[in-house]
């Protein structure tokens, strides 16, 4: 018999996490499905200064605190890519690549994604000058000029953030004024590195491989002008922040939406389907901010709790007594000599994960002692390897064991590869210290190789098994990128399931020569067989399709 959750929340951004806190605190058995590392748009926001009661905090830090709150109240989390839903029955069904989930009520909190403009060259140069996430891609424009398209809150905030890297930021605003809070506008106008061009629109970007010029028009005077990259720079950046479009495609035909794809709800976040709610930026609203998202989530969870209680009363279902969780102990300081990437709390979680390993996994790292990142990786691996009885570590100095270096194709440093229980190279390799969001992909690589691993849809697995040609995938990442781990996990899972495939995580900050050779100005980016470059977040089935 399938497990039926009380409440299933689709999406781990502020709306979903807020709903989780309210549901968990009300002792509602709740699970949150996250596509990747979660956090939504908040996870890409460098600084949040308008959340009541918190004067300054980064988006990732706020999201992490929200997740910890959920865990405090017993809310479950699961990594799952939702592929479809069935809301026709009393028990709602949410279909994912790793199997179906069942729940008495569902809150949809999938948020929205950046909207594209459609100007000439936008698609062609996405990843090679055109970008949509300053936190993910801002560092690639160090010492270059940047244009920001938009006049709203996001454009203003991101323009300020980009001044950390760019020599100059020019805001291209179609309107005659900003459409955000005066306090943000004041910051923009006071910044010496920012210039604002109102009543201006972009006509297109052009270049050979990377952006080299852009054309603009003043929509009042109709005067056109062109910007060309400085000779010493050879390129520049164009960041587009013109709003978002709801990520609601898979719900089309299942619940009522407006013409733009926003889900319609009443004031209690109820959709037209009984037991199904929507919260956050996927609803029609005048203000899309974290504060309104968490408000939606709280309201949705509160009403969903009433609905679930009524359903259980009607069906005569009695809840089992809740098991009291042991009181949390104060976290001790990180022990001397341990990796700074792992806290004591995280070590405890990893011990639990590694304790479920079905077979042995060996981490093999070739250490270049003259390279600080290689030494940092070594210390991290020494720490991790202590956390599981079936997790082993082999360390060799560069040049010490040529046979091993050839076996794992150690052509870049730092490097660590995963060897399976039969002593075979799994095809999974990391060139960089897997910190930040990539810690998740590293742990999942071990879990998937050792078993039991994440469940895979049979159709996807058959597609992976059908890859008959040798293939190498370099997934170029930034540790600040919350989209990247999904691509890394997908590519590496393919390598684990098919010996013809090798999948490398490459921290682009350590390999500028690769960045320049393939003209990579955005992450995630996959370099396939050292030829084709594919930009953007891709699902595992999409990656497999590129290799068949």
User: What would the two tokens of residue 299 be?
Assistant: 């309201």
Task: Single out the catalytic residue among 6, 137, 303, 507.
Answer: 137
CA-based R_g, the chain, Å: 24
3-class SS of residue 542: helix
d(Cα 100, Cα 173) in Å, to the nearest integer? 45
Q: Is 180 a catalytic residue?
A: no
H or E stretch covering 297: helix 290-315
**Which positions ≥6 away from 206 have C-beta within 8 Å?**
120, 121, 212, 213, 214, 215
The residue assigned the tokens 């709150």 is: 69
> What Å distances lie between residue 133 and 58, 482, 536, CA to CA?
15, 10, 11
User: What would the two tokens of residue 110 be?
Assistant: 């999938």
Sheet (strand 415-419) strand order: 391-397, 361-367, 415-419, 425-431, 501-507, 471-477, 525-528, 532-535
Question: b/e for 298-331, b at 16 or more Cβ within 10 A?
Answer: bbbbebbbebbeebeeeeeeeeeeeeeeeeeeee
Instruction: Give 518-521 contacts, CB < 8 A, sequence gap 24+.
Output: 518/476, 519/128, 519/209, 519/210, 520/127, 520/128, 520/140, 520/476, 521/127, 521/128, 521/129, 521/131, 521/137, 521/140, 521/141, 521/210, 521/235, 521/237
d(Cα 459, Cα 334) in Å, to the nearest integer? 44
User: What would the two tokens of residue 160 be?
Assistant: 């300020």
Query: 452, 358 in Cβ contact below 8 A?
Result: yes
Task: Single out the catalytic residue among 136, 281, 484, 541.
Answer: 136
Q: Is 136 a catalytic residue?
A: yes
d(Cα 110, Cα 19) in Å, to the nearest integer? 13
User: What would the two tokens of residue 139 be?
Assistant: 């560092």
User: What would the two tokens of residue 149 be?
Assistant: 């398209």
d(Cα 455, Cα 98) in Å, to the nearest integer? 5
Q: Which residue in 139, 376, 152 sits closest to 237, CA to CA?
A: 139
User: What would the two tokens of residue 211 be?
Assistant: 């952006």
d(Cα 448, Cα 353) in Å, to the nearest integer? 11
Q: Is 541 a catalytic residue?
A: no
d(Cα 9, Cα 32) in Å, to the nearest integer? 5
Q: How many CB atoms lie within 10 A of CB 162?
A: 24
Provide the sign of the torsion angle of the four alpha carbons 521, 531, 234, 114, taken in this order.
negative
3-class SS of residue 20: helix
List phi, psi (to 5°) of 519.
55, 50
Task: Single out the catalytic residue among 6, 86, 100, 133.
Answer: 133
User: What would the two tokens of residue 427 be?
Assistant: 């095809």
Q: Which residues are known to be catalytic?
A: 133, 136-137
């Amino acid at each position: 018999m399938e497990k039926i959750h009380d409440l299933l929340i689709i999406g781990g951004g502020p709306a979903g996490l807020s709903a989780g806190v309210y549901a968990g605190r009300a002792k509602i058995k709740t699970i949150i499905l996250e596509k990747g590392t979660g956090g939504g748009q908040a996870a890409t926001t460098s600084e949040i200064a308008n959340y009541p009661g918190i004067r300054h905090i980064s988006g990732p830090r706020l999201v992490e605190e929200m997740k910890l709150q959920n865990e405090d109240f017993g809310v479950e989390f699961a990594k799952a890519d939702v592929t479809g839903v069935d809301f026709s029955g009393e028990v709602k069904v949410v279909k994912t690549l790793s199997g179906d989930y069942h729940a008495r009520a569902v809150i949809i909190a999938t948020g929205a994604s950046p909207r594209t403009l459609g100007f000439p060259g936008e698609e062609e140069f996405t990843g090679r000058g055109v970008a949509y996430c300053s936190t993910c891609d801002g560092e690639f424009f160090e010492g270059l000029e940047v244009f920001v398209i938009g006049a709203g809150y996001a454009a203003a905030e991101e323009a300020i953030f980009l001044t950390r890297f760019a020599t100059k930021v020019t805001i291209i605003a179609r309107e005659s004024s900003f459409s955000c809070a005066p306090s943000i506008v004041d910051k923009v106008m006071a910044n010496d590195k920012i210039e604002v061009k109102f009543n201006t629109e972009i006509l297109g970007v052009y270049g050979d491989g990377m952006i080299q010029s852009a054309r603009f028009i003043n929509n009042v005077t109709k005067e056109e002008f062109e910007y060309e990259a400085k000779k010493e720079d050879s390129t520049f950046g164009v960041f587009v922040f013109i709003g978002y479009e709801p990520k609601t495609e898979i719900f089309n035909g299942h619940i009522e939406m407006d013409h733009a794809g926003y889900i319609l709800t009443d004031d209690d976040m109820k959709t037209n389907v009984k037991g199904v709610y929507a919260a956050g930026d996927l609803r029609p609203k005048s203000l899309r901010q974290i504060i309104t998202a968490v408000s939606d989530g709280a309201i949705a969870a509160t009403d969903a709790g009433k609905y679930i209680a009524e359903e259980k009363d009607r069906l005569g279902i009695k809840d089992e007594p809740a098991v009291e969780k042991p009181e949390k102990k104060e976290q001790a300081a990180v022990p001397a000599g341990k990796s700074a990437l792992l806290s004591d709390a995280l070590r405890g979680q990893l011990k639990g994960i590694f304790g479920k390993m079905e077979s042995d996994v060996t981490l093999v790292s070739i250490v270049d002692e003259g390279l600080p990142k290689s030494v940092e990786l070594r210390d991290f691996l020494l720490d991790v390897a202590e956390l599981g009885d079936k997790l082993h570590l082999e360390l060799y100095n560069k040049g010490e064991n040529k046979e091993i270096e050839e076996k794992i194709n150690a052509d870049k440093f730092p490097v660590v590869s995963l060897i399976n229980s039969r002593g075979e190279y799994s095809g999974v390799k990391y060139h960089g210290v897997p910190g930040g969001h990539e810690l998740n992909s590293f742990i999942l690589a071990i879990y998937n190789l050792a078993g039991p691993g994440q469940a895979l849809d049979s159709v996807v697995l058959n597609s992976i098994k059908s890859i008959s040609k040798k293939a190498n995938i370099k997934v170029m990442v930034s540790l600040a990128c919350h989209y990247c781990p999904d691509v890394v996990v997908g590519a590496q899972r393919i390598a684990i399931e098919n010996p013809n495939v090798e999948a490398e995580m490459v921290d682009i900050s350590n390999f500028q020569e690769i960045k320049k050779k393939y003209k990579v100005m955005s992450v995630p980016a996959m370099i396939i067989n050292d030829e084709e470059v594919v930009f953007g977040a891709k699902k595992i089935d999409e990656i497999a399709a590129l290799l068949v």
